[in-house]
Amino acid sequence: MKTKSDNRPIGIFDSGIGGLTVASAIAKRMPNEQIIYFGDTAHLPYGDKSPDAIRTYSAGIFEFLKSKNCKAVVIACNTASAVATTTVRALAGKDILVINVIDPTSRYVASKFSKGKIGVIATKATVNSRIYAKRIEKRNENLKVTMLATPLLVSMIEEGFFNNNISQAIIDSYLSKSNLKDIDGLILGCTHFPLIKNEVQKYYKSHTEVIDSTEIVAEHTHHVLEKHGLLNQKSGGVHHFYVSDITPSFDASTKLFFGKKLKLEKKNLWV
């Protein structure tokens, strides 16, 4: 019996280039798949934008990815996942699969930890939504979830400013807050944060598990595509990376996020 193959691309979007951490994990997990990535660098960061603005930006990006014939769209942004998943799914209907980064991570944590206290560091919008607390505590009533907004970290990482004494001091200052005391696990609730995972782990040493959602999301995406018979069984096409604005720092930082230098194409959807 011939295995069904779907060579349409996977669309991935984020408020900036932090979602390239998810794109990289998906590319490694599914090397046959073509990726169309959109980073909304003109509106970075989403974390301090209104919910209405985030939904408007996300809807515009989805329509762009739809025009590229994407079979699935991964919302590789915790803030957009928290605020705009319902909006994007309404636009997608039954034609395009929509995957966010919060649901698979919440399921992982709820099953991995039988009880205890879980911390989350994220943007203000993600924290204000309390989405991780709602999702995890609903699945496991023996877990308590505490969330902390860390607004300086996204801009710091986008500028390539980490793995030094100053960034470690900023990270340590956030992690020392009282509501993150005595946690059993810490969710990196922003797709930029895998790049500071080592610094976060340095603070906790081996006492606390630091949870990076990128591989969890990549595995979940593979599972969903396989379940719906949408995997590409043949060699994939060329990846394309779009941003709504280009700065030298974004261009130079792509290697940090994706593992190799990428060619970014400017595409402003709001002109």
Pairing of strands 185-188, 116-122: parallel
Residue 51 preceded by cis peptide, ω within 30: no
Residues 6+ apart with CB under 8 A from 128: 149
For the chain, the straight-line distance linking the first and the last C-alpha, in angstroms and rounded, comes to 49
- For residue 1, the model assigns a pLDDT of 41
52 annotated to a ligand binding site:
no
Q: Residue 70: beta bridge partners?
A: none
Q: Dig out the tokens for 211 from the structure.
A: 């949870």
Tell me whether residue 222 is annotated as binding. Answer: no
Q: Which positions are annotated as active-site residues?
A: 77, 190
Q: Is 192 annotated as a binding residue?
A: yes
Comparing C-alpha atoms, which of 82, 95, 96 is closest to residue 10?
96
Residue 14 assigned to a binding site: yes
Q: Fill in the amino acid letter for 13.
A: F
CA dist., res. 150 & res. 171, Å (int): 9
All structural domains of the chain, each given as residue ranges with its CATH number in brackets, are 10-100+215-266 (3.40.50.1860), 103-213 (3.40.50.1860)
Dihedral of the CA atoms 252, 255, 258, 259 (nearest 10)? 180
pLDDT at 28: 95
Per-residue pLDDT of the chain (271 residues; tens, 9 = 90+): 456 889 999 999 999 888 999 999 999 999 999 999 999 999 988 988 999 999 999 999 999 999 999 999 999 999 999 999 999 999 999 999 999 999 999 999 999 999 999 999 999 999 999 999 999 999 999 999 999 999 999 888 877 778 888 899 999 999 999 999 999 999 999 998 998 999 999 999 888 999 999 999 999 999 999 999 999 998 878 999 999 998 777 787 888 888 888 989 999 998 7
Q: Which pLDDT score is estimated for 6?
A: 93
CA dihedral defined by 159, 161, 162, 165, rounded to 10 degrees?
Answer: -170
- Strands 72-75, 97-100: pairing kind: parallel
* List of E strands, the chain: 10-14, 35-39, 72-75, 97-100, 116-122, 143-149, 185-188, 209-211, 240-243, 264-266
Neighbours of 29 (CB within 10 A): 16
- What is the pLDDT, as a whole number, of residue 88? 98
Determine the pLDDT at residue 164: 84
78 is in an annotated binding site: yes
Strand ranges, E, within 124-263? 143-149, 185-188, 209-211, 240-243
pLDDT 10s digits, 77-107: 999 999 999 999 999 999 999 999 999 999 9
**For 30, left (φ over 0), alpha (ψ -120 to 50), or beta?**
beta
